[in-house]
Amino acid sequence: MSRAVPFAIAVIGLGHATMAGVMAMTPVHLVHEGATVGEASFVISLHVAGMYAMSPVFGILSDKIGRVPVLIVGQVVLAISLALTALFPMDHTIVTIGLILLGLGWSANTVAGSALIGELSQGPKRLTIQGRSDAAMSASGALAGVLAGPAVTALGYSGLSFAAFAFVASAVALVALIVTLRSRESAE
């Protein structure tokens, strides 16, 4: 097993926390700002479509151009989504676009990260490692969802989106560490 596996698991968890925290508070924010429950529900429907509709494409891209480039694409898309929701929280159309991008970034991160974990953990412990990754992802999403409410209370919806940049920055740093570790392991 590669020494990079725990860091790949963390990248998936950070991406999931980014998505879950912002997604959880978006309907509350939209309704608070005058949207109907139906409109907020439609935004979440589009977000969920973004999460899953392109996952086969991200899988193919992960196989064609590599897991790490798709992870980076995922982080860039997450960052763009956060910028939109942070800078234009009162514009429901831009928030909707931000939520679609949040779903797409999550998808790229999750698909490429899971493929990377499978690649890094060949052997009899592979399924156990994937299970740990899934558990870590679920736990990070649950924690982000729980903390998102107090974060919005303290910082506002824009503040929540700005704060989530810390997760994206951490994930990018971990991807760089993964690349370094893999390079060292291939040299050994």
pLDDT digits (tens, 9 = 90+) for 8-38: 999 999 999 999 999 999 999 999 999 999 9
Reported confidence tier of residue 102, pLDDT bands at 50, 70, 90: very high
Q: Give the span between the Cα atoms of 147 and 115, in whole angstroms.
A: 29
Give the pLDDT band of residue 124 (cuts 50, 70, 90): confident
pLDDT over 90 (residue 2): no
For tokens 């953990």, the residue is: 121
Does position 7 have pLDDT exceeding 90, yes or no? yes
H or E element in which residue 41 lies: helix 37-52
Span 121-142, mean pLDDT? 93
% of the chain residues with pLDDT over 70: 100
pLDDT at 3 over 80: yes
**C-alpha distances in angstroms, 21 versus 6, 67, 70, 123?**
22, 25, 22, 34
If one counts every other C-beta atom within 10 angstroms of the C-beta of residue 183, the result is: 10
**pLDDT at site 188:** 74
Confidence of residue 185 (pLDDT cuts 50, 70, 90): confident
Mean pLDDT of 32-49: 96
Closest CA to 22 of 83, 111, 110, 108: 83
Task: Write down the pLDDT at residue 40.
Answer: 96
User: How many C-alpha atoms does 15 have within 13 Å on its Cβ side?
Assistant: 37
How does pLDDT run across 72-98, given as a tens digit for each residue?
Answer: 999 999 999 999 999 999 999 999 999
CA distance linking residue 46 with residue 147, whole number of Å: 24
CB atoms within 10 A of CB 151: 20
Interior angle at CA 109, CA 104 and CA 110, nearest 5: 100
Q: Tell me the domains of the chain and their CATH numbers.
A: 5-187 (1.20.1250.20)
pTM of the model: 0.94
Q: CA 70 to CA 63: how far, in whole Å?
A: 10
pLDDT for 101 beyond 90: yes
Cβ atoms within 10 Å, residue 187: 6
pLDDT at 1: 77
* Ramachandran bin of 66, using left for φ above 0, alpha for ψ from -120 to 50, beta for the remaining angles: left
